[in-house]
Amino acid sequence: MKIVVVGPGRAGGSLAVAARAAGHELVGIFGRRTRHQPLAEHLGVRIRLIGEPMPEADLLVVAVRDDALPEVAATLSPPADRIRGAIHLSGLTSVRVLDPLREAGLVTGSFHPLQTLPGWEAGSRAFPGAFVGITAPDDWATELESFARSLGCRPFRVADDRKPLYHAAGGVAANYVSAALCVAEYMFTEAGVDPAAARPMVEQAVANAFDLGFRESLTGPISRGDLGTVRRQIEAVDRHAPDASEAFRVLTRLTAQLAGRVEVEEILRLAARPPAGSRSPGPAAEGGGSP
């Protein structure tokens, strides 16, 4: 498949490198010359500026940020006799944002890697095994599914009107886990323990969640209904790691509700709002010493 990428940042650059490694041909990259020059040199292609002639291709990848999609889609509008179809990589934005391209005769869709892509080198290696959310008309979706499989990905379809909810769920899975780990890091540090000691436990907990089920994998005092231990934990956090008090209570309440124990109401009472004077995690995090 001949591919053109517009906006070769973290997502677009990762896809470009992964596609070439899978045997596809990169026939054009449109971006900023200075910023994207290392990627262009790696791929052996010349960076073009938006507005330059569009090369003939099977797939146009519009990989700019969400708020730039409408303007870029309207600016491109390549002739349909030169490009078969177009996709954007946003998990949030509707496929309709590419309507200027559809009106120009291209088939359009979205192709969202459900994966963290920190940069094009590491990101390209993260494609094999990753899931990809596809939103497109049936025939084009089938072609995009084949493209995803060629990258080693596992495609699934997402309804266009459910994309914002799907994207929010991905944010919870990718970022809120890290946010909770930041809270744990601060608490371990205040306890005089290296946070790295928790890595095997965290990795096993994630594996258990997917293997056993998210609720079924819960362990610890909340899942056992051990109110005394929960009370002592809350008291210890309030005393020794006060910047985590609010976050710890939020997570305690959520875990109690998920566990569905008969003691849930008592646990919720214990995990009421933190004592007056405790600080929220936000400002402390900016100081570098807490979550």
The per-residue pLDDT for range 68-91, each reduced to its tens digit, is 999 999 998 777 678 999 999 999
Q: 63: which residues sit within 8 A by CB, 6+ positions away?
A: 5, 6, 7, 8, 9, 11, 12, 13, 15, 88, 89
| CB-CB contact of 97 with 88 (8 Å) | yes
What domains are defined for the chain? Answer: 2-158 (3.40.50.720), 165-286 (1.10.1040)
| Token reading at 143 | 């072609």
List, in sequence order, every residue forming a beta bridge with 5; answer none if it has no partner.
Answer: 29, 61
Instruction: Report d(CA 162, CA 94) in Å as an integer.
Output: 9
Pairing verdict, β 57-62 and 2-6: parallel
Instruction: Report d(CA 236, CA 209) in Å as an integer.
Output: 27
Q: Is the pLDDT of residue 96 over 50?
A: yes
Instruction: Report d(CA 32, CA 55) in Å as an integer.
Output: 18
Tell me what the pLDDT averaged over the chain comes to: 90
> DSSP E strands: which ranges in the chain?
2-6, 25-30, 47-48, 57-62, 83-88, 107-114, 131-135, 154-157
Instruction: Report d(CA 233, CA 288) in Å as an integer.
Output: 24
Instruction: Report d(CA 218, CA 212) in Å as an integer.
Output: 10
| Token reading at 264 | 């849930």
Q: What is the pLDDT of residues 27-44, one digit of tens each?
A: 999 987 778 888 988 999
Q: pTM of this prediction?
A: 0.84
Q: What share of the chain is helix, strand, coil (3-state, %, to 5)?
A: 55, 15, 30
pLDDT value, residue 104: 92
pLDDT value, residue 33: 72
Q: What is the pLDDT of residues 217-268, one digit of tens each?
A: 999 999 888 889 999 999 999 999 999 999 999 999 899 888 886 566 777 7
